[in-house]
Amino acid sequence: MLVITDEREVTMVTTCPDCTAELDHCHGSLVAHLDAAVECTEPGCVDLDRVRHTLAELTCEEVDGGCTCVVELAELLVAS
C-alpha cells in the first residue's frame, strides 16, 4: 500500500497479513541451540512454538556474533 502524505513524499506502508487476520504469531526468528534449547529473537516472546514463528529458524551457529554454546562445544572438542 502506498501512502502519499504530500506532493514530495511517498511512504511505503506494509501490513503483516497475520496481524491483519489477528492470528497468534511472532515476528521474531527461532534460534535452535546445540543443547536443543530454543529462544526467540523478539524481545518478550515466551511462546516458542514453531508454528508461531514463520519467518525463519536459525541454528545458533548462524547468529551474528556466534553463540556461547558453539564456543563451549569447540572448547570441549579441543580439550578431548
44, 27 contact by CB (below 8 A): no
65 burial level (CB within 10 Å; 0-12, 13-18, 19+): exposed
Domains of the chain, by residue range, sit at 25-80
The three grid cell numbers given for residue 20, joined into one nine-digit string: 491483519
**Rounded Cα distance, 38 and 61, in Å:** 13
Per-residue pLDDT 10s for the chain (80 aa) are: 444 455 555 555 578 889 889 999 999 999 998 888 899 999 999 999 999 998 778 888 887 777 777 666 666 667 66
| Whole-model pTM over 0.85 | no
Query: What three-state secondary structure class fits 32?
Result: strand
